[in-house]
Amino acid sequence: MAMIEVAGLTKIHETQTEALRVLDGLALEVAAGEAVAIVGPSGSGKTTLLNLLGALDQPSGGTIRIAERNISGLTTAEAARFRNRSLGFIFQHHHLLPQLSVLENVQVPRLAGDWEETPAETEARARDLLHKVGLDHRLQHLPWQLSGGERLRVGVARALLNRPCLVLADEPTGLLDAAATERVAELLLQLNREEGVTMVVVTHNATLARRIGRTLELTQGKLKEVVR
């Protein structure tokens, strides 16, 4: 099954002075369970593309199907529901809540409502994910007591709480050193295998892209496979 099917995707950012055609007839197909890296120069439209795949923004043209569902025309409420149920987002800045422990931060998506598991089930899932990301010994820590790499791991665990079919990551290792980046690459690939979750990872990091394998470069509004 295809997890992502994008055809003819166009995005024009309108400002007061100009209309910027950032994506221009872009096509993308990603199979369920696959992991792909997206690279490209700064300003080439990588974040714009992720925002469209995550139903955070509306395309100017073209179609986006995620898990065989057309998401290009969702209402704001439908898009929010789709994100809460089906997607996980990983950012460079994780927006952890400073007053909540690691274990509580991972359970925050539950507060968005429309959640089917009981509090006990959700906590068990959070503990399992924190084990998978190697933070068993940090459950009661507050965000400021963690290293940058550990905070990112909390963000990764939180992104997986809702058992997403698709995880979208925007330059997740942008603030990490080489050793921490290597560990995060290993972790993302492990979760891709163990949880069967499809991943799209935007990165500037050549090591991370190489580890992920299939790499696409965004230039002039389109994606090209990078052949190694």
Ligand X SMILES: Nc1ncnc2c1ncn2[C@@H]1O[C@H](COP(=O)(O)OP(=O)(O)O)[C@@H](O)[C@H]1O
Binding site for Mg ion (CB under 5 A): 46-47
Least distance between Mg ion and beta carbon 202 (Å): 7
Asked if 166 and 200 touch (Cβ cutoff 8 Å), the reply is yes
Can you name the residues that pair with 201 across neighbouring β-strands? 37, 169
**141 contact, one of ligand X, Mg ion, none, CB 5-8 Å limit per kind:** none
Rounded Cα gap, residues 13 and 78, in angstroms:
23
Least distance between Mg ion and beta carbon 41 (Å): 10
Nearer to Mg ion, 70 or 219 (CB): 219
Least distance between ligand X and beta carbon 71 (Å): 18
**Cα dihedral 125, 129, 134, 140 in deg (nearest 10):** -50
What is the pairing mode between strands 87-91 and 166-170?
parallel
Least distance between ligand X and beta carbon 202 (Å): 7
Least distance between ligand X and beta carbon 49 (Å): 7
Half-sphere exposure of 109 (CA within 13 A, CB side): 29
Nearer to Mg ion, 59 or 143 (CB): 59
Record the tokens describing residue 132, joined without a space. 């998978």
**200 contact, one of Mg ion, ligand X, none, CB 5-8 Å limit per kind:** none
Least distance between Mg ion and beta carbon 170 (Å): 6
Nearer to ligand X, 20 or 27 (CB): 20
**48 contact, one of Mg ion, ligand X, none, CB 5-8 Å limit per kind:** ligand X
Asked if 44 and 219 touch (Cβ cutoff 8 Å), the reply is yes
Rounded Cα gap, residues 28 and 22, in angstroms:
15
Q: 116 — phi, psi (to 5°)?
A: -90, -25
* Residue of this chain nearest to Mg ion (CB atom): 47
Record the tokens describing residue 160, joined without a space. 């997986």
Nearer to Mg ion, 129 or 208 (CB): 208
Q: Which residues bind ligand X (CB under 6 A)?
A: 13, 15, 20, 22, 40, 42-48
Nearer to Mg ion, 47 or 84 (CB): 47
Q: How many CB atoms lie within 10 A of CB 213?
A: 12
Nearer to ligand X, 147 or 220 (CB): 220
